[in-house]
Homo-oligomer: A and B are copies of this chain.
Amino acid sequence: MHHQLRTAAEQGVALGAWIFLREPLLAEAASKAGYDYVCVDLQHGLVGFEDLSAHLQAIALGSAAPVVRVPWNEPWMIGRALDAGALGVIVPMVNTAEEAARAVAACRYAPQGERSIGPIGAMTRHQGYFRAANTDVMCIVMIETEQAVANIDEILAVPGIDAVYIGPADLSLTLGLAPMSDQSDQRFHDALGTVVAACERHGVIPGVHANPALAPARREVGFRMITVGFDHAPAVAAFASDLQQARG
């Protein structure tokens, strides 16, 4: 199965868009805009499992890899997201090797894991799905606490982790900082560096939640999966700026 997220990350850096809103036309537009992946956020977004199939169909209209952030590290969530056609899952709050192994097991059919079979959406959309699923589906675990950074080597030693994804706002909170995408505090940057270095050692793609302005800096320190596009914030910002401009 073609997987633009993996391809782009291997060739340099994969840039992604993030979907919070319940309008598949936006997911389609994101996928057609040229992003390497489009991630539907079921944790903090308004999309739910009922709406997910429509969003994944929409993403498949463009070239981006369909990714889902599940709300929690639960096998049934990962299973539903993959069955619906996601080619990658981002799993929140993975702080230990045991939690990482749980995420991997939910992504892989036996004997590599414990995923239950029945990929009704995936097999409609991806030819030869079953044969390729265990190798092609990407298991991406979130690193978003001090504890996770401390455990990064053990987490990455779990076979089957394809990428990590740093949640900078949550990581900031556990460092005692305000929840933002970037920080001036050196501990924040040390944590990012620790994760990237560990990824390089383990052959895992390092990813991070960011924004367009931060992308060059993140790429420079070695991130190869960077989310820079969003549906919600730019739309809200435009409401404000367009009104201001119109008022003159």
Which residues of A (27-58) have their CB < 8 Å from a CB of B?
28-30, 32-35, 41, 43-46, 48-51, 53-54, 57-58
**Known contacts A28-B57, A30-B239; is-contact A121 B71 (Cβ 8 Å):** no
**A198 at interface, CB cutoff 8 A:** no
Q: How many residues of A contact B (CB 8 A)?
A: 88
Query: Closest CB of chain B to A187's CB: distance in Å?
Result: 14
CA distance A109 to B172 in the complex (A): 11
Pair A51/B50 contact, Cβ less than 8 Å: yes
Tell me if A162 is interfacial: C-beta within 8 Å of chain B: no
- Cβ of A165 within 8 Å of any chain B Cβ, yes or no, is no
Q: A97 in the interface, Cβ–Cβ < 8 Å?
A: no
Residue of B nearest to A15 (CB): B246
- State whether A174 and B110 are in contact (beta carbons under 8 Å apart), knowing that A28-B57, A79-B43 are contacts in the complex: yes
Set B71, B83, B248: member contacting A76, Cβ < 8 A? B71
In the complex, the answer to whether A48 meets B45 with C-beta atoms within 8 Å is no
* Listed stretches A18-26, A149-157, A188-196; interface member: A18-26
Residues of A that sit less than 8 Å from B by CB: 15, 17, 20-26, 28-30, 32-35, 41, 43-46, 48-51, 53-54, 57-58, 60-61, 71-72, 74-76, 79-80, 83-84, 92-93, 109-111, 114, 116-121, 124-125, 130, 144-145, 167, 169-170, 173-174, 176, 179, 211-213, 215-216, 226, 228-232, 234-236, 238-243, 245-248
